[in-house]
Amino acid sequence: MSEIIVMPRLSDTMEEGTILRWLKGEGETVARGEELVEIETDKATMTYESDQAGVLRLLAAEGDTLAVGQPIATVGDGHGDEAAGAPQGGTAAPQGGTATPEADTGTPRGGAPGGGTAGERVRASPLARRMAREGGIELAGLHGSGPGGRIVKADVLRPAPAARASAGAPAAQGPAGTAPWAPDEIARAKGETRVLELTRLQQTVARRMAESKATIPDFTLEIELDMEECVALRAQLKEIANPAAAGTPYRGTGEHAEPPPEAVPTYNDMVVKAAALALREHPLANGSYRDGKLQLHSRINVGVAVASEGALVVPTVFDTEEKSLGEIARETSALAARVRDGSITPPELGGGTFTVSNLGMFGIRSFAAIINPPQAAILSVGALAPRAVVRDGEIVARHTMSLTLVCDHRILYGAEAARFLARIGELLEAPAALTL
């Protein structure tokens, strides 16, 4: 008797995974807990350990992309029930069900299998089928470069000219008074074109951001803060953390003797701490919207947006309101380093209940970020700089910074959101509470 191993869900946003490398081969004996396969998810590459023991039979090949829950292998005694098995590298039906014609053949809805003779089978990965369907591409016109001639994502991105459905497509118009441009003329007019394939992470970011803009009725609030007290606080923290550079001896003892210079909180760390304390007082802002219901979370986990190579990643600082400024500073610095060197893990990228995004280091005065669904809101942080303001009837230079809160109106209404943002501002303009 054989037990089915399915594509596991390795992150909270994972919908499909790509098998990068089998660590055990066809017919080999696998022990429970033994490393079985390397899987690329929407967030990271992870090694999956077998939860069964026995003889391995592969149902999917390296390079295949399958939806979560689809069978990838069986493990058993090498005899008996092979009903779940599919040809190696093929697509199997989920346990207890049968494959639909579309899932089994890769046929776009309404068409004959593969666009050719009835009953003809076109082998393609689930991702390739979906991309072909969305792009109006006939799979039968493509040459598969995957295992066994299977059509994979790269084949869909570089289809043969005849593969694209052109029925009813209007001809592109050239300059006024001229005949329509032919496709090759359009290509020449654009100059040399390079096609860059999106990584799985970029695909996930694109999908989730499109989902956010299409489904979330959002609104935006903005405040301008006087950050003079935060500037003074950070100067004091720098002096404590690095007294030699400040020219004064440090008298601390024990664990406070010589905090490393990298532990000095940034202004963004102060914003993260202030947001966490305000979330404790305004639980709706720490909620989520799922399936027509509001979910209020007991833990406050603030995600901090980090720019990586070609993508945006949001690692999570868990239980943020319970951590000191120094702890937040060390943790955000370490998380950002792991994002940039590619060693960040899915657990460090999940579980966020609120997000802070900062573009101030690029000189951006204010911006409205896109909500990370299903979270209630996202806080955008602008550049901190000295600006002319009016104080006591006189124009003076003060360090100011803009905060922009983008809210899901299904969770937060205007007044509640305004009170939440105002509370963040109060904490930053009188930051002593951030150090408690």
Q: Distance between CA 381 and CA 222 in Å, rounded?
A: 10
Higher pLDDT among residues 157 and 240, named by residue: 240
Average pLDDT over residues 3-15: 81
Task: Specify the higher pLDDT residue, 80 or 377.
Answer: 377
pLDDT of residue 420: 98
- The confidence score (pLDDT) of residue 166 equals 43
Phi, psi at residue 385, to the nearest 5°? -160, 155
Q: According to the model, what pLDDT value does residue 16 have?
A: 83
The per-residue pLDDT for 259 is 43
pLDDT value for 186? 61
Q: What is the pLDDT of residue 243?
A: 60
Per-residue pLDDT at 180: 55
> Among 163-167, 194-198, 207-211, whose mean pLDDT is lowest?
163-167
Distance CA 419, CA 160 (A): 57
Residue 217 pLDDT > 90: yes
The residue-averaged pLDDT of 311-336 equals 94
Write the secondary structure of 51-100 as one string of H (helix), E (strand) and C (coil): CCCEEEEECCCCCCEEECCCEEEEEECCCCCCCCCCCCCCCCCCCCCCCC
- Residue 329 burial (CB count, 10 A): 24
| Section 208-231 average pLDDT | 94
- Return the pLDDT at 191: 79
> What are the phi and psi torsion angles at 366 (to 5°)?
-160, 155
Q: What is the pLDDT of residue 192?
A: 80
Which CA distances in Å does 11 have to 18, 45, 248, 280, 372?
Answer: 14, 11, 48, 26, 15
Q: Are 62 and 147 in contact (CB under 8 A)?
A: yes
Q: pLDDT grade, residue 413 (50/70/90)?
A: very high
Per DSSP, 164 falls in state B
Query: Each residue of 334-369: pLDDT tens digit?
Result: 999 998 888 888 889 899 999 999 999 999 999 999
The C-alpha angle 191, 193, 199, rounded to 5 degrees, equals 160
Confidence at 43, pLDDT banded by 50, 70, 90: low
Q: Phi/psi at 302 (nearest 5 deg)? A: -95, 125
User: Nearest-CA neighbor of 145 among 136, 159, 155, 134?
Assistant: 155
Dist CA 35 CA 393 (whole Å): 70
Predicted confidence at residue 167, as pLDDT, reads 39
pLDDT of residue 318: 97
Q: How confident is the model at residue 183 (pLDDT cuts 50, 70, 90)?
A: low
**pLDDT-based confidence at residue 262 (cuts at 50, 70, 90):** low
Quick one: pLDDT at residue 42?
67
431 CB-near residues (< 8 Å, 6+ apart): 229, 230, 233, 270, 274
**Please, what are the domains in the chain?**
2-99 (2.40.50.100), 103-167 (4.10.320.10), 210-435 (3.30.559.10)
Position 181 scores a pLDDT of: 53
Nearest to 233 by CA among 325, 330, 149: 325
Q: Which amino acid is at 119?
A: G
Model confidence at 379: pLDDT above 60: yes
pLDDT band of residue 156 (cuts 50, 70, 90) is: confident
Both tokens of 368, joined, read 């409205």
CA 268 to chain centre: 21
DSSP output for 278-289: HHHH-GGGGEEE
Q: Is the pLDDT of residue 260 over 50?
A: no
Three-state DSSP class for 407? strand
Answer yes or no: is pLDDT of 82 > 70. no
**What is the pLDDT averaged over residues 274-289?**
97
Q: What is the DSSP letter of 135?
A: H
Active-site annotation holder among 256, 282, 399, 409: 409
Give the chain's largest Cα–Cα span.
88
pLDDT at 381 over 70: yes
Structure confidence at residue 182 (pLDDT): 57
Which pLDDT band, with edges at 50, 70 and 90, does 251 fall under? Answer: very low
Q: Give me the helix-helix angle, 325-341 and 267-281, nearest 10°.
A: 110
DSSP 3-state of 370: coil
Query: What is the reported pLDDT for 266?
Result: 95
Q: Is the dihedral of CA 52, 56, 62, 64 positive or negative?
A: negative
The length of the chain in residues reads 436
Which of 83-87, 194-198, 199-203 is the most confident on average?
A: 194-198
- Reading the block at residue 215, the tokens are 């489904």
Say yes or no to pLDDT of 270 above 90: yes
Mean pLDDT lowest among 90-99, 285-294, 392-401: 90-99
Angle, alpha carbons 430-363-428 (nearest 5°):
10
The larger pLDDT score, comparing residue 256 to residue 279, is at 279
Spell out the residues 6+ positions from residue 420 whose beta carbon is closer than 8 angstroms to its own. Answer: 278, 279, 281, 282, 284, 285, 377, 405, 412
Contact call for residues 314 and 303 (beta carbons, < 8 A): yes
Type of residue at 43: K
Give the mean pLDDT of 49-74.
Answer: 89
Confidence (pLDDT) at 173: 52
**Under a CB-based contact definition with an 8 Å cutoff, are residues 337 and 350 in contact?**
no
Is 399 marked active-site? Answer: no
- Mean pLDDT, to the nearest integer, of 229-236? 95
248/319: higher pLDDT: 319
Helix (H, G, I), strand (E, B) or coil at 308: strand
What's the pLDDT score for residue 88? Answer: 42
* Contact indicator for 380, 259 with CB cutoff of 8 Å: no
C-alpha–C-alpha distance, residues 212 and 46, integer Å: 27
Report the share of the chain in percent with pLDDT over 70.
76
pLDDT tens, position by position, 112-130: 334 334 345 577 776 777 7
Nearest CA-CA partner of 371 in 388, 383, 348, 354: 354
Taking the C-alpha atoms of residue 125 and residue 116, their distance in angstroms, rounded to an integer, is 18
pLDDT of residue 79: 60
User: Residue 179: CB partners within 8 Å, gap ≥ 6?
Assistant: none
- Residue 98 makes CB contacts below 8 A (sequence gap 6+) with none
